[in-house]
Amino acid sequence: MDIAAIQEAFGAFLLHIALAVLSLGGAYAAYYIRLAAEKARVQTARLRDGSARAVLDAALDDVQRLAELSVGAMEQTTAKCLREQVK
């Protein structure tokens, strides 16, 4: 086994570790986004004005969806860059 094969295997190993950490970070981010949105929903449920509550709930749904999409897109973009650098 020559040094080039060892370096290639080690590079692939590091790539897999980096992708795993990136995926775990994305999962934590999505989890905390959902937690924050749920907390905000509980607080908006206390509002007496029904129309204001409906507007805030719709806004929270939009923000949560956009935040989760952003986290997913950043994760995919970073993973793509890492894969290209290893090639």
Q: Is residue 52 a contact partner of residue 21, using CB atoms and an 8 Å limit? A: no
- This prediction's pTM: 0.65
Secondary structure (DSSP) of 24-73: HHHHHHHHHHHHHHHHHHHHHHT-S-HHHHHHHHHHHHHHHHHHHHHHHH
**Could you state, in order of their start, the residue ranges of all structural domains in the chain?**
47-87
- Per residue in 18-61, pLDDT tens? 888 988 988 898 899 889 888 888 888 777 777 888 888 888 88
- Per residue in 75-85, pLDDT tens? 888 888 878 87
